């Protein structure tokens, strides 16, 4: 099953935390974006994030993949104090090829992916032909605030 994971961190050793996710999925990665420095989204009174996208080919179900990401968050001692607040690690299942779900535990594709430059720009870097809901990512990016898109700045390899 091919899946898109958005990973991010704005606490502790951000790059090392992202590398840990990459190492966990090393044998399953089809493509990976560079790391991007991004301003916080939603709650803006916090440090800048590092974000990346991994495209993986895994044997797990989408829910098992979600649990795997949550286990990585737990290992990074993620604490969920406030929605969109600071975090050591965030591993989101953004999309799974051929799967649509409105399950509140795991909605696929991610219900806000099309609104978030910090997801779309790295995803496009990892897969220039990527589509979301049958539309090229470039269409969603073009609909975003240009300043938000410009704020997503490449910051080296993962």
Kindly report, residue by residue over 26-85, the tens digit of the pLDDT.
Answer: 999 999 999 999 998 777 778 899 999 999 999 999 999 999 999 999 998 876 666 666
| C-alpha distance from residue 85 to each of 15, 100, 143 (Å) | 18, 27, 25
Domain count, the chain: 1
Contact between residue 54 and residue 29 where contact means Cβ atoms under 8 Å apart:
yes
Q: If you average pLDDT over every residue of the chain, what do you get?
A: 93
pTM of the model: 0.94
Report residue 68 as tokens: 């795997």
**What CATH number corresponds to the domain at position 120?**
3.30.70.560
Task: Give the domain extent around 90.
Answer: 2-154
Nearest to 90 by CA among 119, 111, 63: 119
- The torsion angles phi and psi of 12, rounded to 5 degrees, stand at 60, -145
- The predicted structure's pLDDT at residue 150: 97
- The predicted structure's pLDDT at residue 42: 73
Report residue 79 as tokens: 């604490």
Nearest to 22 by CA among 66, 62, 67, 52: 52
- The predicted structure's pLDDT at residue 83: 67
């Amino acid at each position: 099953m091919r899946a898109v994971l958005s990973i991010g961190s704005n606490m502790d050793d951000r790059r090392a935390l992202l590398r840990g996710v990459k190492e966990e999925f090393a044998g399953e990665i089809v493509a990976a974006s560079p790391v991007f420095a991004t301003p916080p989204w939603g709650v803006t009174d916090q440090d800048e994030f590092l974000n990346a996208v991994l495209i993986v080919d895994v044997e797990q179900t989408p829910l098992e993949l979600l649990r795997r990401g949550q286990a990585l968050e737990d290992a990074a001692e993620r604490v969920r104090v406030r929605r969109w607040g600071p975090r050591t690690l965030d591993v989101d299942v953004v999309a799974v090829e051929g799967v649509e779900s409105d399950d509140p535990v795991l909605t696929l594709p991610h219900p806000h992916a099309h609104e978030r430059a910090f997801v779309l720009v790295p995803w496009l870097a990892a897969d220039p032909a990527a589509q979301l809901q049958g539309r090229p990512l470039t269409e969603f990016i073009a609909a975003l605030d240009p300043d938000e898109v410009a704020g997503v700045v490449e910051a080296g390899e993962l």
